[in-house]
């Protein structure tokens, strides 16, 4: 504890060496959690799963987990970029439902190529609509994407008013149906697609001018504007990337499920945001980790796999997912609080005159 002695201003300053050690310890702990925390949690969860169920690490179950993680991971990677940029998209669940319906209808009309085109172009169109609402009409992202969540699901219901869009069982051997079940060696093709997408997004953020603008705008919007970064173009690009991610994700999802309507993957948007925030993205913008998101996607998928394998009800699964989201947001809040406190400590230490 420091004391104040009249006439001695230096007596109010904490010992620099002691303060520096404390600050560095906190910084090191925060960095260690950001880098390895979620991965460590994933390892612990896998060990627990293996102890509870001897078939958990079987090749078939591992392939199932990797396949199931693909569509979530693809969209979570794009959502991480959006959160780094200082925004988010609550409509990705509605987009997934609508684009799945469009892809299945496209296959019924023109086969595999039209189904793939419908998925990709449909996703881009959904992202473009969100981008236009946010950038041109100046609707806040929360309001715009929440409203479009219901609009997209409503359109999907209208397109499937009589019955859900389905892929006939006779088409099980078609190239389209095999997209979601093909193995490359022993690795599921959807998981490979997810890994490639993560790599592409990483290169986009690190190696392209557009990616650097996305990060710069999220870190300091005012400074980015003064540097000539167009907020409209950057934000529109982010929503376009989210739409593209949904289109690609649909091709890894619907080619396994073969049926879709307006209720497909209800609550998907919360799973995506949970994975991104749990992986280290801050809802305040300017911060995120694709490596962390990748680990968080696997963690959420493994957790869901364990819950299903042990007969946990759908309602209880939703409660667990909600709890994980709360924990993720709490970690983000605590991390931000300590970061602000450490910045204040560093500023105060620099302002204190040093003895001698």
What is the full DSSP assignment across 247-297? HHHHHHHHHHH-EE-TTTTTTHHHHHHHHHHHTT--TTSS---HHHHHHHH
Supply the pLDDT for residue 25: 57
Residue 180 lies in a domain: yes
Residue 105 lies in a domain: yes
Supply the pLDDT for residue 40: 86
Supply the pLDDT for residue 333: 65
B/e letters for 328-355, b = 16+ CB within 10 Å, e = fewer, are: beebbeebeeeeeebeebeeeeeeeeee
214's tokens: 């996305």
Residue 232 lies in a domain: yes
CA 67 to CA 301: how far, in whole Å?
A: 10
At 116-139, the pLDDT tens digits run 999 999 999 999 999 999 999 999
Supply the pLDDT for residue 7: 42
At 265-314, the pLDDT tens digits run 998 999 999 999 888 888 887 888 899 999 999 999 999 999 988 888 88
Residue 18 lies in a domain: no
Residue 27 lies in a domain: no
Where would I find the beta strands (DSSP E) of 141-217?
165-166, 183-184, 187-188
Residue 97 lies in a domain: yes
Domain total in the chain:
1
Please check the confidence at residue 202 and state whether its pLDDT lies above 90. yes
Neighbours of 208 (CB within 10 A): 11
Residue 202 lies in a domain: yes
What CATH number has the domain bearing residue 43?
A: 1.10.3470
Supply the pLDDT for residue 235: 93
For all residues of the chain together, what is the average pLDDT?
A: 85
Q: What is the mean pLDDT of residues 245-256?
A: 96
Give Cα 12 to chain centroid, integer Å.
46
Start-to-end CA distance of the chain, whole Å, equals 22
What is the reported pTM?
0.85
Contacts of 301 (CB under 8 A, 6+ apart): 65, 68, 69, 72
Residue 8 lies in a domain: no
Give the domain extent around 338.
35-351
With tokens 């509870």, the residue in question is 52
């Amino acid at each position: 504890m420091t004391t104040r002695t009249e006439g001695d201003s230096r007596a109010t300053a904490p010992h620099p060496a002691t303060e520096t050690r404390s600050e560095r310890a906190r910084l090191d702990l925060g960095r260690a959690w950001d880098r390895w925390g979620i991965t460590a949690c994933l390892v612990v969860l896998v060990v627990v799963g293996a102890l509870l169920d001897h078939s958990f690490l079987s090749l078939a179950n591992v392939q199932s987990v990797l396949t199931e993680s693909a569509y979530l991971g693809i969209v979570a990677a794009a959502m991480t970029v959006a959160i780094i940029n200082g925004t988010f998209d609550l409509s990705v669940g509605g987009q997934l439902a609508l684009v799945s319906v469009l892809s299945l209808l496209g296959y019924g009309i023109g086969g595999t190529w039209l189904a793939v085109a419908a998925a990709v172009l449909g996703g881009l169109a959904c992202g473009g609509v969100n981008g236009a609402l946010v950038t041109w009409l100046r609707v806040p992202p929360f309001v715009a994407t929440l409203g479009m969540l219901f609009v997209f699901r409503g359109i999907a219901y209208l397109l499937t008013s009589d019955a859900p869009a389905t892929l006939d069982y006779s088409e099980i051997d078609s190239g389209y149906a095999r997209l979601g079940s093909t193995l490359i060696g022993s690795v599921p093709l959807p998981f490979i697609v997810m890994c490639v997408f993560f790599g592409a997004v990483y290169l986009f953020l690190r190696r392209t001018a557009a990616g650097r603008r996305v990060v710069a705008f999220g870190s300091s919007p005012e400074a980015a504007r003064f540097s000539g970064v167009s907020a409209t173009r950057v934000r529109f690009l982010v929503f376009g990337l989210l739409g593209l991610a949904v289109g690609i994700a649909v091709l890894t999802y619907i080619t396994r499920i073969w049926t879709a309507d307006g209720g497909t993957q209800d609550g998907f948007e919360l799973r995506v945001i949970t994975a991104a925030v749990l992986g280290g993205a801050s809802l305040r913008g300017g911060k995120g980790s694709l490596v962390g998101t990748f680990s968080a996607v696997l963690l959420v998928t493994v957790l869901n796999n364990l819950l299903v394998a042990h007969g946990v009800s759908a309602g209880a699964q939703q409660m667990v997912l909600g709890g994980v989201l709360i924990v993720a947001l709490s970690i983000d809040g605590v991390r931000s609080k300590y970061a602000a406190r450490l910045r204040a400590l560093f500023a105060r230490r620099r302002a204190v005159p040093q003895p001698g």
